[in-house]
Structure 1
């Protein structure tokens, strides 16, 4: 299969396919006498796995260690371990994002609760005091 056909079958740009080949994720590539690349049918499966794994948050380095050169030789236990670790990483990230969102919402609510008689500078001092942050002090001074 030519790169254009592979690109159409996977929805990936030819440049991305060549990049995956260059970094060693796509290995089963041969060249014709004219220099054109030809790809085996399994390349569709492999590229789809790569794209799906990247969308799930796997880095290219993680994929390089996780993907076997022959998909029929996949280490089931390693795959399960990697997937469980990625789920744990995502859970931690979600918790951090939730904490950040709550903190930002608290800051926004405090800023929006500005009394009518305060100017912006006085409101900034009020907000900083609310969060225990006084200008000129570091967090360790509290």
Structure 2
């Protein structure tokens, strides 16, 4: 599963969806394709922190992503998870970013991201996980 997460991380690397929201469990949709974008998320990529990632559409085509994050460090960290549905692209795509704050050292948590935007041409789910300061 981690191999898939790493592969998805590489595909999403060009995608934007950064959030400047204060710590909390809020989600932020990124601008639609072609619209001005926020700078890419900053932080340290940690694809190995992600497990049990699922991204599925319901009967109406609305995507929801879930997964687990593990903090293997000796200090609390804040994770930033960005998900989009589309084809690999060199330009930023609409995405949703969720901050998962203060996961304790050696701890883990789960997350859910709802209403993930879908590119006009469709595609598959892509995920990026970074730790922020």
Same fold (TM over 0.5): no
TM-score when normalising by structure 2: 0.25
Higher strand share: 2
Return the index of the structure with the highest Cα Rg: 1
Greater relative contact order structure (CA < 8 Å, 6+ sep): 2
Higher helix share: 1
